[in-house]
Structure 1
Amino acid sequence: MARMPSAERRRQLVEAAITAMTRDGVARTTTRSICAEAGVSLSVFHYCFDSKQALLEAAIETITGNYVARVMQAVEPRATLRETVHGALRTYWDHVTAHPGEHMLTYDLTQYALREPGFEHLARAQYEQYVVSAVALLEQVRAVRGIELRLPIEVIAQSLAATIDGLTLQYLVLGDERAAAAQLDVLADQMVALIES
């Protein structure tokens, strides 16, 4: 096993955990199976993480961070507000349809955290991170578009996070791409109405 910096090894273990949990589910994924997926020994896991809980927290941060990075790249300075909002939502949605298993994993992580004693705070942190991410996106949109928001940014961000969460779950359950696309358009219009002064 080649030596690598601990930050890189942590990333390797987080990616292995995401792969294993997406495939096998959170409850059935063990630290041993994550190590096997990453091709490292259990001692490497314990060197990088204090516990499975710490790894789950890192996985949640990584998944959400990846979504946010993708969406932020979709914000274009010369686009209209509606084009900007729709483009950001479409970028997120393209990932949902291309990688439904990873999005199912986010719900599995939430359920696991709520049911497993001592892990409850991870579910709260996960949903708080969704709102923080929505605030970051709205801040970027506001800065690029040079607009003042009609409502407090946290209110709009909470609405966006809750709505996209529900829309994602509905799509994962029903698999109706046409209905999801129509709802995405409605959501874009609602966000524009909430953002515009």
Structure 2
Amino acid sequence: MARMPSAERRRQLTEAAIRVMARDGVARTTTRSIAAEAGVSLSVFHYCFDSKQELVESVITTITDHSVTLVKEALRARATLEETVRAGFQAYWSHVRAHPDEHMLTYELTQYALRRPGFEHLARRQYEVYVETYAELVDQLRKSRDFRLRVPVAVLARYLAAVTDGLTLNYLVLGDDEAWTGILDTVTAHIAGLVDAGTSG
């Protein structure tokens, strides 16, 4: 087995954990099955992660990063603020449609953490990551377009996290790709409406 930096090995194991958890469920996933998926020994897993809590937090952060990377790329300046916002949401929904099992896993992780003694803080951390991520995306957009918001960034970030969370679960349950064009248009128009009139965009 080739040696690699511990950070890279952690990434490898985290991605393996995501695949196994999405396939088998969080409760049935073992450190042994993750190590087997990654093609490493169990000792390598325990060298990289001190506990299952640490692994679960890494999984939560990594799943969020998967979609956020696409959204950040999509938020490059466009003709109008509304077009830019819609491009960001479209990038996210494209990821949801392409990787439904990964997004379904996020809800399972929440329930798992809330129901398992000692893991409750991970559910809170999961949603804190969502809010922090949206705050970062909003700041990125503000810097690129120089506008003022009608609500504080912290409020908007939490609101966006709640809206996205609910809409994602709605899509995973109901599907219906055709309905999502109208839904994205509605969400985009609403978010763009939170920008002060007369500002850039």
For the criterion TM > 0.5, the same-fold answer is yes
Q: Which residue of 2 aligns with 1:106?
A: 106
Q: Which residue of 2 aligns with 1:125?
A: 125
Q: Which residue of 2 aligns with 1:47?
A: 47
1:126-147: per-residue Cα shift (whole Å, max 9, x none)?
Answer: 0011011111111111111111
Kindly report which structure 2 residues correspond to 1:92-171, keeping only aligned pairs within 5 A, or say none.
92-171=92-171
Mapped pair 1:188 → 2:196: no
Give the TM-score normalised by structure 2. Answer: 0.95
How many equivalent pairs are there?
197
Give the TM-score normalised by structure 1. Answer: 0.97
Asked whether the 8 Å contact 1:64–1:130 carries over to 2, the reply is: yes
Q: How well do the aligned residues superpose, as a CA RMSD in angstroms? A: 1.0
Q: Which residue of 2 aligns with 1:37?
A: 37
Over the matched positions of the two proteins, sequence identity in percent amounts to 63
Structure 2: distance between partners of 1:172 and 1:75:
24
Asked whether the 8 Å contact 1:167–1:180 carries over to 2, the reply is: no
Structure 1: distance between partners of 2:134 and 2:7:
26
Unaligned runs of 5+ residues in structure 2 are: none
